[in-house]
Amino acid sequence: MQHAVHAMDFIFQTKLGTYPLAVQCEMLASLGYQGITVSSWSSELRDLPKVKREWGLDVGAIYAIYRQGLEARLINLFETLEGCSSVELALHSGDRVQDHDLRMLDQLLPICERRGIQIALYPHIRYGMQTTQEAVDLCERFDHPNLGIVFNGYHWYACQEGALEQRLDAVMPWLRQVNIAGCRLSPLGWGGAATIEPLDEGEMDNFVLLGALERRGYEGRYGFLGWESMGGDVHGNLQRSLTAFRSMEERLARNPHWALMTDLPR
Amino acid sequence: MNPMNNPIHALDSFFYTSLGVYSFQSQCEMVAEVGYDAITVAAWSGHPLTDLKLLPQVKEKHGLDVAALYLVLHEGRNDHLVRQIIESVEGVELIELAVQTSVNGVKAILQSIERLLPIVERRGLKLALYPHRNHVTETTSHVVEICRFFDHPRLGAVFNGYHWYASQEGDLQGRLDAMKPWLMQVTTSGSTLSQLGWGGVATMEPPDRGELDNFALLGALQRMGYEGRIGLLGWDYCGDVYLKLQRSLNAMRGIQQRLAEHPTWADIPLAR
């Protein structure tokens, strides 16, 4: 099957500046992407309702980060959000998940209920909530229909959480969407941990990840992570990632057994 | 001068990623579909992750040759296992042997190799010593020395472009000239000297990238009349393995085609 693919708008935020939302959408639509994830610091959030109408793209989610002091801003975001019904939420109130995060979720979930918004917790290396395990713990604790998880292949890899099959099993009951990137462990990468690259690059085997998700019946969308370290021509990188992803899908449909690994060698 | 149409094979190390190892069936299916002529199989120090009983069926099932079986000798530790595999393996003619460590020194290494030669002879195999960075047999000079010592028609050497480059042996033409009488196989990859690479020495990358000029290497091999196989080393960079196999083969075929059309482009004075 062909999954809907989204680009996270970070890829359009380069050292030279940020592409306007209209250009982002034109590029993605012309390349064949189905949607976009928009960062909460975008200056064009008010234009999200017209993204579907004008470019035929879904706004899959807003990406937001909770840090202490940002409570009012996040509540305002959740209260005013239009044109999108999902927020990918990274938690970084301290060096681990702590009471501030719980209180923030306590405040946001009633708004989500009232406004029909889904929160997908976004484990993020070097943040308070880093691992899929921490996100699963929070989902189990709240056990709320509006609270789930985005499995981010990059952050799972960068954190070296390992045990892919077990981690996916744990995440599956809460899984809302999946984000991926080409990546390799490197001190030159994001946070001194791992690179963020187009999907045809890196050491992380996204074909195997796709296979593991396919076997678990995941039919949702895939978001592609981009970051300024990816460098160069944004359009070219988007194209490479989409081509690589469709190639992986096609191979997986033909040969699902190719994605079944034997024991770990090292 | 022969046209550059050496068969190209993939080392099975492509299929070792941080997520695990692909099954041998998947490896062969992918390598064949991408268009390689053969695959090499690693038996490592005598505990292969591939069932070696599958090797004799590879040609019939997948249309691929098994270009070599890769073995690692730890002299004084696994000599027996290495001998046992060479004594029993079927479906492959060339054994690539890297000598990684030694308990008893050079003399004992030579004795180990000496004990392999009658087996290789009797079974119609060939034994190619494989220079490998950070191993006892690290450089082309080391393996040539051993080949000269035995001067045995079934003992030769692999020229590994990556390990030659990573060891900074230099003098490509001189090294190839020295290896010529013994050369049984060639292996290469893209590479750049870098502390972030394998062993803190040099990266392994698809041959369309890196600082090592594989066009110059293939040109030099063409000039010396090498018509054997060229293997591509995948390790540590493979990600979605299929795409890396594909672009690596495309890069090599591109080099071969350019060499055929413009043989003079590779006539560069090589650094000594």
> CATH no. for residue A42?
3.20.20.150
Percent of chain B predicted with pLDDT > 70: 99
In a domain, A243, yes or no: yes
For A12-50, how does the pLDDT look when each residue is reduced to its tens digit (9 = 90+)?
A: 998 888 999 999 999 999 999 999 999 999 999 999 999
Which DSSP helix (H) or strand (E) runs through A210? helix A206-215
SS3 B206: coil
pTM for the whole thing?
A: 0.94
d(C-alpha B237, C-alpha A202), whole Å: 6
Quick one: tokens of A126?
């070097």
> How many domains, in total, are found in chain A?
1
Whether residue A244 and residue B22 make contact (CB cut-off 8 A), yes or no, is no
Residue type, B229: R
Q: Where are the domains of chain B?
A: 8-266
In a domain, A245, yes or no: yes
In a domain, A264, yes or no: no
In a domain, A266, yes or no: no
d(C-alpha A78, C-alpha A91), whole Å: 15
pLDDT tens string for chain B (272 positions)? 455 689 999 999 999 999 999 999 999 999 999 999 999 999 999 999 999 999 999 999 999 999 999 999 999 999 999 999 999 999 999 999 999 999 999 999 999 999 999 999 999 999 999 999 999 999 999 999 999 999 999 999 999 999 999 999 999 999 999 999 999 999 999 999 999 999 999 999 999 999 999 999 999 999 999 999 999 999 988 999 999 999 999 999 999 999 999 989 998 888 77
d(C-alpha A37, C-alpha A59), whole Å: 6
- Protein fold of B8-266: TIM Barrel (3.20.20)
Whether residue B19 and residue A247 make contact (CB cut-off 8 A), yes or no, is no
Instruction: Supply the DSSP symbol for A37.
Output: E
In a domain, A265, yes or no: no
A242 touches chain B (CB under 8 A): no
Query: Which chain A residues are within 8 Å of B29, Cβ to Cβ?
Result: 255, 258
Beta bridge partners of B162: none
Chain A nearest-CA residue for B247: A200
Query: Domain residues for A87?
Result: 5-259
Select the residue of A187, A199, A261 nearest B21 (Cβ to Cβ).
A261
- Chain centre to alpha carbon of residue B110: 21
Whether residue A261 and residue B29 make contact (CB cut-off 8 A), yes or no, is no
Select the residue of A201, A251, A263 nearest B242 (Cβ to Cβ).
A251
- How many angstroms separate the CA of residue A199 from the nearest CA in chain B? 8
In our burial notation (b when 16+ CB lie closer than 10 A, e otherwise), range A223-246 reads bbbbbeebeeebbebbbbbbbbbe
Cβ contacts from A onto B, under 8 A: 80
- How many angstroms separate the CA of residue B215 from the nearest CA in chain A? 22
Residues comprising chain B, all counted: 272
Task: For the beta carbon of residue B63, count every other beta carbon within 10 angstroms.
Answer: 11
B17 touches chain A (CB under 8 A): yes
